[in-house]
Structure 1
């Protein structure tokens, strides 16, 4: 039987409410930091679509108050599961914004594991949003990759692969630590670590935002949001898919 959940997060963003709105309430903006391919019809009652790994989910815009409040709710499954996202924007001094997220709905199987992944993942994605707004202001990504590979049983093995991909030698890893992209088939590129926590490692370079995930049932996922178009999408996709296995 489905069971209710709710996750609440907030983050201070070095961007105006208008800039934050463009990042959370438009398809190209969401593509640039979240996951998959996104389409949003800009009105209350409008349709939303998100395609991840070839699967498209549909949602409805339940609140549309530009610069203030944006909310969506996915269509319920036959079992009654769904997810709802509400973003509340508050203008702050100096052209900054306080963003509050309420992520709620009903989950079914393996509730504890799924809830923990959502609880940690929501905070990670908000930190990724902050990095997008700070490092690539006024821009949207040229291409976005969301790729899945083989499952890795232990967290230790996953972290070892993460560390190798980002040229990191030793743990713990803290935000701001220098990294070097070290994936065969891709040019070495220096950057900094954005976050390192339960199953997630993120970094930013001059060209891209990167996220590596050890997800549900041990699934390995790699994400890249590229803002320069280099390397070419096909080259990057082939290199990351080979790395994932």
Structure 2
């Protein structure tokens, strides 16, 4: 039996409504801060596609008011499950914008775990949106997604901390450094911490996101990165990060 849900989030962004619109309603904009790869037909009734791990989901755009409102939803499945996303954009003084998100629909039997994962996930991704608009606005990103299922939570985070030169207690602003075979050297700062689910690192040319799904969702370690360096080969970078993740000594 399906369970109806509605999740609301609000964030103030240091960008104009037009810049926020470009970031949430165009494929290159969304790819610069959200997981996977997205494409949108720029009209009401158009298609919105989301691809990750070789799977593509198609939604229908139900609201298209540039710099004001953007909405889309999936078709209900045989079990009644569907997802609907609505963004409301409101300009404020000083060049800032309030973005309101409403994520609603119907979830399956494991709805409580799914709902909690969405709540914490949106917090991280909306923060990443804010980082993109401040530090990389208007730049296209090469996206990297790598997965390693069936790994222990403590081992995953302990190995990441060691790789980046971090201590047991991690806070935003901590300096990080990583030098690993196959990867370009990384020098940056922690910009997001919500352990044991998320760790974010920002450098001069990238937003790196490390995610742990939890035991109830397969104990998967994930790299979900946005690379802004000119001429970056995202396909090769993804292979390199997958190799790095596969070899991460998680115990």
The TM-score range, normalised by the shorter chain, is over 0.9
What is the TM-score normalised by the length of structure 2?
0.91
Residues of 1 paired with 2:163 and 2:78: CA distance? 40
**Aligned pairs (5 A) from 1:148-163:** 148-153=147-152, 155-163=153-161
How do 1:15-54 residues align onto structure 2 when only pairs under 5 Å count? 15-54=15-54
CA distance in 2, matches of 1:104, 1:110: 16
Tell me which residue corresponds to 2:187: 190
Partner of 2:75: 75
* Contact kept? 1:185, 1:235, Cα under 8 Å: no
Question: Which of residues 206, 210, 213 in structure 2 aligns to 1:212?
Answer: 210
The equivalences for 1:1-245 within 5 A come to 1-141=1-141, 143-153=142-152, 155-171=153-169, 173-198=170-195, 199-215=197-213, 216-229=217-230, 232-245=233-246
Of stretches 114-123 and 102-111 in structure 1, the one that deviates more from structure 2 is: 102-111
Q: CA deviation at 1:182?
A: 4.2
Cα offset, 1:150, TM superposition: 2.5
How far apart in 1 are the matches of 2:23 and 2:66?
Answer: 12
What does the per-residue CA deviation read over 1:87-145, in whole Å, with 9 as the maximum and x for residues that have no partner?
1111011111011111111111322211111110011100000001111022121x111
Report the secondary structure of 1:221's partner residue. Answer: strand
Q: Which consecutive residues of structure 1, in runs of 5 or more, have no partner in the other structure? A: none
**1: CA distance, partners of 2:239 / 2:178:** 15
Deviation at 1:236, TM superposition (A): 2.0
Q: CA deviation at 1:229?
A: 4.3
Cα pair distance change 1:196/1:204, threshold 3 Å: same
Which runs of 5 or more structure 2 residues have no equivalent in the other structure?
247-251
Aligned to 2:249: none
**What is the distance in 1 between the residues matched to 2:89 and 2:222?**
30
CA contact (8 A) 1:183 1:240 kept: no
CA distance in 2, matches of 1:69, 1:89: 6
After superposition, the C-alpha distances for 1:16-69 in whole angstroms (9 at most, x for unaligned) are 000000000001111111111211011111111111110000001111111111
Structure 1 contact 162–201 (Cα < 8 Å) conserved: no
Q: Distance in 1 between matches of 2:240 and 2:203?
A: 17
